């Protein structure tokens, strides 16, 4: 009676091992998953078919983050996240030294507060370059890095925490800002 039970157990373990081996082979050689045809809800544009991407995007070349520009792991207030120095704030608040070209206006919101520096991610920018944002409500401005953001030119923008503070905008407001290149 015990011999048939051992035979059945042995046979089942062989089948389980065979199934595991077969699964590993099929996942290693499976073609990449393809996106179905769909519309991007943010832009209303059709999404291009292609492989589903996983992982993280690469950093912008030439950008470095020093230990002093990374907020503390326990950061919980705006002051904790603002890692800019007084000299950096003074340089960003300085008046423009050269001619600037107005790109337009945009509704802005707070971007990633853990990303240091003075920047704006906006669909008004076509390439990463220097620029300025102006708060027309009080006339304050800040020199920022213009970073392209996908979407229509009428889409909103994301602004760094120190830049919003410099131009006198509450972190929960959605102000309309003027954006300049140059």
CATH number of the domain residue 113 falls in: 2.40.40.10
Q: Is the pLDDT of residue 22 over 60?
A: no
Residue with tokens 């792991």: 73
Indicate if the alpha-carbon torsion angle 90, 145, 101, 142 is positive or negative.
negative
What is residue 175's predicted lDDT score, i.e. its pLDDT? 94
Task: Give the tokens for residue 117.
Answer: 């520096």
> For all residues of the chain together, what is the average pLDDT?
78
Is residue 172 within 8 A of residue 153, CB to CB? The reply is: no
Q: Is 163 within the bounds of a domain?
A: yes
What is residue 2's predicted lDDT score, i.e. its pLDDT? 64
Total number of domains constituting the chain: 1
Ramachandran area for residue 151 (φ above 0: left; ψ -120 to 50: alpha; else beta):
left
Q: Is the pLDDT of residue 167 over 90?
A: yes
What's the 3-state SS for 77-102? Answer: CHHHHCCCCHHHHHHHHCCCCCCCEE
Q: Is 9 within the bounds of a domain?
A: no
Q: Is 59 within the bounds of a domain?
A: no
Range of the domain at 119: 81-89+99-181
Query: Helix (H, G, I), strand (E, B), or coil: what is residue 135?
Result: coil
Q: Is 157 within the bounds of a domain?
A: yes
Q: Is 49 within the bounds of a domain?
A: no
Q: Is 123 within the bounds of a domain?
A: yes
Which pTM value belongs to this model? 0.56
Task: Give the tokens for residue 121.
Answer: 């991610």
Task: Give the tokens for residue 126.
Answer: 């076509």
Per-residue confidence band for 83, with pLDDT thresholds at 50, 70 and 90: confident
Q: Is 129 within the bounds of a domain?
A: yes
What is residue 24's predicted lDDT score, i.e. its pLDDT? 46
60-77 pLDDT per residue, tens: 554 555 555 556 666 667
Q: Is 36 within the bounds of a domain?
A: no
């Amino acid at each position: 009676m015990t011999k048939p039970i051992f035979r059945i157990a042995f046979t089942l373990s062989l089948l389980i091992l065979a199934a595991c081996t077969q699964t590993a082979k099929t996942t290693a050689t499976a073609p990449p998953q393809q996106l179905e045809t769909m519309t991007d809800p943010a832009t209303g544009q059709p999404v291009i078919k292609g492989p589903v991407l996983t992982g993280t995007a690469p950093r912008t070349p030439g950008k470095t983050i020093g230990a002093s520009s990374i907020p503390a792991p326990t950061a919980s207030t705006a002051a904790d996240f603002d890692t800019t120095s007084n000299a950096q704030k003074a340089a960003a608040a300085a008046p423009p030294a050269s001619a600037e070209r107005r790109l337009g206006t945009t509704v802005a919101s707070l971007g990633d507060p853990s990303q240091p520096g003075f920047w704006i991610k906006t669909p008004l920018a076509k390439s990463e370059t220097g620029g300025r944002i102006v708060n027309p409500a009080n006339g304050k401005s800040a020199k920022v890095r213009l970073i392209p953001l996908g979407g229509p030119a009428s889409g909103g923008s994301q602004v760094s925490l120190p830049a919003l503070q410099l131009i006198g905008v509450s972190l929960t407001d959605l102000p309309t800002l003027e954006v300049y290149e140059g």
